[in-house]
Structure 1
């Protein structure tokens, strides 16, 4: 089988009507896949998609690629495999409709045989569309990879090799493998399937083979139980991976008919309300992050290097699990989770049969749901990182009898395909009972769900723990292995009494409440984890976590909707560039992963101003003691610490002492004056110092610095170079309070794929070569186009240029 990426040679343009003529404004432009057709379009405060998409427009887009098809392929099976096209993709071959896929995230395969013109150039056309069909930024187009498959008529079916590890101990593990063989000929064929398992060190640890006879036009499954001695198990802290190579051979023919390789892990899962979730026999409490699928300045594209970096940085920030909110994760993201030991809750979607947006997936859900479930489970089946399947998020109809029927239908469909993992659902009892709550709270029906939750305050906890919610969701919850609760920690202790067999996960929680939430999770074994909204900031739902200053001229309270030019949500522990915000370090201390204190400073220019926040907001703070403020200006300082008290010292002189926990868990607050120098925070427990940290004012020798995260990358479209741009002194202290425009130029075999900052409200496009530093930082993302040295030059008025070299290697 030939299976190769089909990422180059594509063009894209707006889809025109049958009688419209293209001009310069609608001309096709060349692109490399994966590609987001929406990211580079102009944003507009009057966009019909509005705040949900970050004020991007909708549209219909047309991708075109010419494909040379040799005469020799006439006797082959030729397929195009799309990992994801957003949305309602229609594929044409030489003008003939060959396939339609409604989901924007499900992988699908197009069999080309009936449409190809052999010995000639063929034209592949893919249409994709987006318009008011989601509550966040989705992007548009072929946002995940495409593969061309050319196979012999007798071949291994795509994604049909399944690996499970049903029986494991320290002496050996049984690796049960099954491979599906397809026969597209007119005759019964007998072939042999051969399997070879290699361990984490590359050594062969098990082999097996089996003959398999396949009737014409049918499929047959070959199975084997392979014995792996002294297995090295996949786990969060030690994610060991094995590899299975499957080869299909015909007797008397040395050349294989087909072969494939699949990575997998050996691990066991257990679940109960006494021990919670156990991986390899050890109880784990998931430190979870909800994440959306976009990659910030790159838009909604699943480039493997970006997906890997996101998971790596989330792991470094203390997370051990992600929830793919609210759509199935990309293959590249799952592979990254396998490598880095990140547990995955993979989620089917945000709607079932009742709509949340005008043109969302609910329209065809009743017809497409089984296909959606199959696509998710088939993709996930061999990934050891996938532990939970979520069948939905805040489903509107869940509290009705028909909602319970759909809950059971979906959960059982998942189990039919994969009974080795656990099924959950992100239940919001308030959202599921909007109609009933509206009877008692007349305004609820007119408020969007985010604003409703933000304005209900203490009522949310009371309502989620009410008898109304308990009764109305009981059946839908009963079909699950793990009951996911969104913003319903008030049910944790309650359900231990009402439903003693129930296992719970906090599938979505407010970030500012982690100090109170984590003890509830870690001290109750039937609660297996907490997933904050969100781990990584995202595009769309613009400004949902922002901090406004209410005395700003012209300020209007818009609730959770961030006015234009808000683009990002501003609710992540890490911003859209991967820089850790102060809330990330607070969370690290709450988790018990950081012993030294952390200093977070409120900008002196905003001292004393009234703030307006949402439940998804964190404080407007920065870990900096470099400010464009006059010495003596008042300033508020928070020190995060797992301690009794904190002492603050400036240039050796005591500023003061403050108790931890008076204003917030794990927080000591100081009111003082800004004076440049060295600010030291000393944390003490029972009078004994347990840690200290310092911030220093940047010197006058500020320079523009470009610094790549890696000096060498692969020379292929899956690779990326991430180059940090900072304004810093010789001690690498960043000056956070100067907005300096910078320009990036790329030399050599590469292109500038994206340029951005963590600023949530911006008019600057990610496709531009210039951007204004935010808190002293920006990120340039470089995509290689070949082998060689890539030069990245950064310039800014008043500073010397900074130039770095990144090597693209085979």
Structure 2
């Protein structure tokens, strides 16, 4: 078998009807996959998809390439593995339909054998995709995940044909069961032999086996081996040890027919209401983040390096669990979670039979859900990082008897395909009872509480008797009950349902102090997943902070007006830069002992703000402002302490109790003067840690690449800042930065964490935000890539990255 990435040689353009022609300048253009066809389209305040897509239009697109078909392929079987095409993908070979895949997040296979030409004529491969008002967030469009060309013997291992489980583990040995499907696409019975070899994390062979396998024509046969690994190294978030299983299929004479390999982990999972979640017998509380599928400046395009970077930075920020919201996670991110020790809740869908967008997946989901479940499980089942499958998110019909029937159907289908993991669902009792919310309000003891903020309302209604009764059956089919914005249920559910295990599948970011205290206190609550860990495109402005005294301000609720593009609700922004809320969360988690200083922008001091339940504060951790000495400024210091003292150049500005304004926060009203600002945290009078901010000197344009070299086809991430010689960035002197790339590579994306902007990620110029902008460079060949950044009034700067062969 040969497997190659089919990423070059493509063109893409608008999909036209047979009697249409391209307008001038709108014809097909050459692209390299993965590719997002929506990212660079012009945005508009009048765009019908509005806030959901970040005011980005939809469209229908056609990808085309010529496939070179050598004569020897006559004796082979040829397939394309698509990891994801958004959405309603139709694959044609030489004008004939090969396969249709409606689900924009499901992987699928196109078998090309019946359609290939061997007469010297070109073999034309076409993929159609479309996206329009079918998502509540920015979806992207097109072939946005990798495509693999697989050429194999007619007797071969099919896609996802290897399943590894570890049913029996103790300290002395682990039993590893490997099931291999062998497919015979010939007209004759074939006698084959399967050989297995397991290697440990150091590459040393630790177990092997072999078995003859007879495969009937046009049929599959499953070969199984139970192999014993001595003294196993267990996979755990703290030490993610990975083994490798290699399978070889030979014919009766010993000639190789096919081979496949997969990584796996050896670990046990247990969960119950008394002891919570345990991995390898050790309790684990899930410090979770919800994440969307886009990659910020790259749009929806899924690159291995970008997914790995997201997982690494989220792990570094204190998370140990990710929820893929609200669709199946990419293969690349699952691989990264395996490598870095991030556990995963992978999600099937955002809707079942009742639509949330005019043209969403509910159109076909009732007829094709079995394929969607099978695709999700087949992708995930060898990944030790995956511990839970979520069958849905805030399902509208979940609180009805028929909705509960669907819940049971999906849960049992998942268990049938993979009984080794837990099943959950992101339940929002309010969403499941929208037509009956008036009745729920009447059940609340104090009607005045409905004058509280939106977040409080959600909690109160989610705990109402009406909601409790309506979701009981749907919750009962789950191993772990996921609750969205319903921490108000946690204590009572322990009494009403003593065996119920709960996870906070989606929670408000500013409530992590409350949420984590509940997680720590209650054994049946196994973790919390904030909305969100990484900022994302679409649902524009859902976590913004606006100044309500601005001219023309209109309170639009949770919808950010144009030109908002980003949600602005991530702990990390779309470039991977940690916002102040990330450090607050790290302290709440108990992972940081030093305090952390966050400063409200002096230019907005005293102005009224408009926020949403997903907002944090408009703060930056800097003491470098273009403000007059003596200007009033508010400073928050996050700390797990009794009190914090603030000093400027060694002079005390006073002490403040932690928790007076909010848990883990000490607030100061002071004046801005350049210098060294120090926060000293104390408990019982003893110092527990300190944090220092220094005013920047003369800023210049600086750039550094996160890695010195990347593989061909991979990405280099170049961070560009306005900072002094010590690397201290300035936050309020933003300028447009022009970026050029010379050598065997291209600028794949350029952007900042600014949520409200009309700039394009596809341009070569982008304005810094709080002194930062990120350039993403794709290496298209071996050699030196020189990245140059320039800005008016600053000397240019260059960095060099080496592209190397894989």
Q: TM-score range by the shorter chain?
A: over 0.9
Aligned with residue 703 of structure 1, among 700, 705, 716:
700
CA distance in 1, matches of 2:619, 2:553: 21
CA distance in 2, matches of 1:157, 1:807: 36
The correspondence of residues 325-724 of structure 1 with structure 2, limited to 5 A, is 325-438=325-438, 456-700=454-698, 702-715=699-712, 717=713, 719-724=714-719
User: CA-to-partner distance for each residue in 1:383-413, whole Å, 9 max, x for gaps?
Assistant: 0000000000000000000000000000000
Instruction: Give the corresponding residue for 1:750.
Output: 745
Deviation at 1:456, TM superposition (A): 3.4
CA distance in 2, matches of 1:439, 1:69: 65
Work out whether 1:232 is the aligned partner of 2:230: no
Deviation at 1:71, TM superposition (A): 2.2
User: CA-to-partner distance for each residue in 1:630-671, whole Å, 9 max, x for gaps?
Assistant: 100000000000000000000111101100000001000000
CA distance in 1, matches of 2:802, 2:521: 49
Instruction: Give the corresponding residue for 1:272.
Output: 272
Deviation at 1:113, TM superposition (A): 1.1
CA distance in 2, matches of 1:5, 1:458: 50
Verify the 8 A CA contact 1:388 1:423 in the aligned structure 2.
yes
Instruction: Give the corresponding residue for 1:212.
Output: 213
Verify the 8 A CA contact 2:543 2:616 in the aligned structure 1.
yes
CA distance in 1, matches of 2:764, 2:582: 30
Verify the 8 A CA contact 1:193 1:210 in the aligned structure 2.
yes
Instruction: Give the corresponding residue for 1:725.
Output: 720
Give the TM-score normalised by the residue count of structure 2. 0.98
Work out whether 1:766 is the aligned partner of 2:766: no
Deviation at 1:458, TM superposition (A): 2.4
CA distance in 2, matches of 1:454, 1:295: 36
Give 3-state SS (helix, strand or coil) of 1:313's partner: helix
Verify the 8 A CA contact 2:14 2:61 in the aligned structure 1.
yes
Deviation at 1:251, TM superposition (A): 2.1
Verify the 8 A CA contact 1:70 1:119 in the aligned structure 2.
no
CA distance in 2, matches of 1:548, 1:441: 30
| CA spacing shift, 1:454–1:68, aligned 2, 3 Å | farther
Give 3-state SS (helix, strand or coil) of 2:414's partner: helix
CA distance in 1, matches of 2:336, 2:764: 29
Greater displacement, 119-128 / 748-757: 119-128
Give 3-state SS (helix, strand or coil) of 2:619's partner: coil
Deviation at 1:101, TM superposition (A): 0.3
Verify the 8 A CA contact 2:441 2:461 in the aligned structure 1.
no
Deviation at 1:3, TM superposition (A): 1.5
- Structure 1 spans left out of the alignment, 5+ residues: 443-451
Deviation at 1:419, TM superposition (A): 0.2
Give 3-state SS (helix, strand or coil) of 1:27's partner: coil
User: CA-to-partner distance for each residue in 1:542-578, whole Å, 9 max, x for gaps?
Assistant: 0000001000000000000000000000000000000
Verify the 8 A CA contact 1:71 1:119 in the aligned structure 2.
no
Deviation at 1:118, TM superposition (A): 1.6
CA distance in 1, matches of 2:127, 2:257: 31
Instruction: Give the corresponding residue for 2:123.
Output: 122
Deviation at 1:460, TM superposition (A): 1.9
Instruction: Give the corresponding residue for 2:445.
Output: none
Deviation at 1:440, TM superposition (A): 6.3
Verify the 8 A CA contact 1:69 1:119 in the aligned structure 2.
no
Instruction: Give the corresponding residue for 2:295.
Output: 295
Deviation at 1:535, TM superposition (A): 0.2
Give the TM-score normalised by the residue count of structure 1. 0.97
Runs ≥4 in structure 1, deviation > 6 angstroms? none
- Structure 2 spans left out of the alignment, 5+ residues: 443-449
CA distance in 2, matches of 1:104, 1:635: 48
| CA spacing shift, 1:454–1:109, aligned 2, 3 Å | farther
CA distance in 1, matches of 2:494, 2:205: 47
Work out whether 1:158 is the aligned partner of 2:149: no
The correspondence of residues 249-268 of structure 1 with structure 2, limited to 5 A, is 249-253=250-254, 255-268=255-268
CA distance in 1, matches of 2:212, 2:10: 41
User: CA-to-partner distance for each residue in 1:415-458, whole Å, 9 max, x for gaps?
Assistant: 0000000000000001000011145679xxxxxxxxx9996342
Give 3-state SS (helix, strand or coil) of 2:127's partner: strand
Deviation at 1:478, TM superposition (A): 0.3
CA distance in 2, matches of 1:618, 1:92: 48
User: CA-to-partner distance for each residue in 1:217-236, whole Å, 9 max, x for gaps?
Assistant: 11010000001001001000
Give 3-state SS (helix, strand or coil) of 1:69's partner: coil
Verify the 8 A CA contact 2:440 2:461 in the aligned structure 1.
no
Verify the 8 A CA contact 2:440 2:464 in the aligned structure 1.
no
User: CA-to-partner distance for each residue in 1:32-60, whole Å, 9 max, x for gaps?
Assistant: 11110000111111111110000000100
Instruction: Give the corresponding residue for 1:738.
Output: 733
